[in-house]
Structure 1
Amino acid sequence: MERIINALLSIIAVVILFGAVNVSTVGAAEPAYGLPTTVNPAASYLFFHHNYYVETKGADGDCKYYDILKAFTAKGYTVISEIRPKDVSVIEYGKKAAADVRKLLDAGVSPEKIRVAGHSKGGVIVLQVAAQLDNPKISYAILAGCGIKGLAKGYPDLGKLKGNFLSLYAASDKVAASCGPEFLQTREGFTGKEIALDNPTGHQLFFTPVAAWLEPISGWLKQGK
């Protein structure tokens, strides 16, 4: 009887151990992408603002949010990003996002080392951040973030923005469009470049970190223009 009990206890211990290992493997958390507790002024920082899809359906759907963040991390950036509350105002969230950028500036990070990028609704938030900061030395990338009818009231005056701007969108996109002629007019404190990508996937082009958009944005961000 004692042998049977000991054998049963051994089996139970193995099952518990296997279960613990399995849970720790399957439930492994993604890396944290919050504001760093210790700011390195020499590092290059990239704030990324996701689209409405992630805002409403989370990071585990068709839009590979964490894969995108990891792709930017692999390019050498300290990536800062978070999943927004559902249906948050682009104007109000833009104020919060701009305050996060100011924290880096106040910690001694030069504006040339800060990039802010976003897709779709995240791109509109990027424009709001630029309007709040009014800093000509920060670089901003708008990924299919202009011309979205449902967010028309969330756009700042593009003619008054300052900074270095890149707009990327798929020519086949039925949701977003060009940022317009004002975006391409170089003026004091502002430079703008726009590329319409020949790609059939439309607005969902930016759902995954594919070379079609990752290469042009990476090259542009590296140059800072």
Structure 2
Amino acid sequence: MKAWPLILLTFFMPAHASVVYTDVPESTEPTKIYLIYLHGRIIENSGPRPTDIRYGLYDYPAVLEALSSRGAVVISAQRPRGTDMNKYAGAVVSQVEDLIDRGVPPGNIVVAGFSKGGGIATRVSSFLRRPQVRFVLLAACPGGSTPPNIRLTGRILSVYEASDTLAGSCMPLADQPEQPRSFKEIKISTGKWHGAFYMPLPAWVDPVLNWVHGGD
């Protein structure tokens, strides 16, 4: 990620897992899907496998492995503590533009974010304004509220958990005079509140991967 201090991921992936990059790789393949994953706030503060007393273990490495399991090239870095959402969104916009400059079609680029990472993803969508780029918003809209001056663009998949008291539907954000190219939303019901996205549960991973890889 250009002009932004990175904390490299310091966990070990299983031997069979795909490589997860912390920035746009030097060599790109236009036929592949490139998925930028933006983690939740707790990773900034407590490292790649923190435990929350309410929601349990956030297994960031396992989430990345799941997201790469169908062949997507996953790009994800641990953000520094207290990261400014708007500034980091600008850095992700630069990553997306770098991928496009390297020949990756915009439709093969997905920006996915959970919780604070989802808030960053909404800002990337608003700043980038490329209709073919795709976004996955995971518990990204606090209470279904509409952040000021954020206008979703591109192709959007929103997923939220029915029992979650911190985040809800992103429909209010999409249902504005300026609307994204497409919007789809899925409500899951795991009973795990915000922690539903702490682990790669099939309830959200399967529909996300189906959408990312064009099978849904």
**TM-score interval, normalised by the smaller of the two chains:** 0.7 to 0.9
- 1:108, 1:181 → 2: CA distance? 34
Indicate whether 1:33 and 2:24 are aligned.
no
Number of residue pairs aligned between Structure 1 and Structure 2: 195
Offset of residue 41 of structure 1: 1.8
Q: Do structure 1's residue 89 and structure 2's residue 62 form an aligned pair?
A: no
Q: Where in structure 2 are there 5+ consecutive unaligned residues?
A: 1-9, 14-18, 51-56
SS class of match (1:94): helix
Distance 1:174 1:55 in 2: 21
Q: Which amino acid aligns with 2:45?
A: T
Matched, 1:140 2:129: no
Is the Cα–Cα contact under 8 Å of residues 185 and 192 in structure 1 kept in the other structure? no
Question: Please, which of 47, 50, 64 is the counterpart of residue 36 of structure 2?
Answer: 47
Further displaced range: 30-39 or 133-142: 30-39
**Equivalents in 1 of 2:46, 2:177: separation in Å?**
38
CA separation in 2, counterparts of 1:132 and 1:28?
31
Shift of 1:223: 2.0
Conserved? CA contact 1:111–1:138, under 8 Å: yes
Cα distance in 2 for residues equivalent to 1:79 and 1:196: 24
CA distance in structure 2 between the partners assigned to 1:148 and 1:95 by the alignment: 25
| 2:44 aligned counterpart, secondary structure | helix
Kept in 1: contact 2:89–2:121 (CA 8 A): yes
Q: Would you tell me which structure has more helix in proportion to its own residues?
A: 1
Deviation at 1:157, TM superposition (A): 3.8
- Partner Cα separation in structure 1 for residue 215 and residue 136 of structure 2: 10
- Alignment correspondent of 2:207: 216
Contact 1:112–1:224 under 8 Å retained in 2? no
Residues 178, 32 of structure 1: CA spacing in aligned structure 2 closer, same or farther, 3 A cutoff? closer
Query: Superposition pairs for residues 1-225 of structure 1, below 5 Å?
Result: 29-30=12-13, 31-34=19-22, 35-61=24-50, 62-147=57-142, 155=147, 157-158=149-150, 160-184=151-175, 190-223=181-214
Distance 1:36 1:90 in 2: 23
* Higher relative contact order structure (alpha carbons within 8 Å, sequence separation ≥ 6): 2
Q: For residues 176 and 97 of structure 1, do their structure 2 counterparts lie closer, same or farther at Cα, with a shift above 3 Å needed?
A: same
Aligned AA (2:21): Y
Whole-angstrom distance in 2 between the partners of 1:104 and 1:82: 16
Show CA shifts across 1:170-193 (max 9, x none). 010011111133525797752111
How far apart are the structure 1 equivalents of 2:139 and 2:149? 17
Give the Cα separation in 2 of the matches to 1:28 and 1:52.
18
Give the AA of the match of 2:41: Y
CA distance in 2, matches of 1:211, 1:191: 24
- Residues in 1 aligned to 2:177 and 2:206: alpha-carbon distance in whole angstroms: 24
Which segments of 5 or more consecutive residues in structure 1 lack a partner in the other structure?
A: 1-26
Identity %: 33
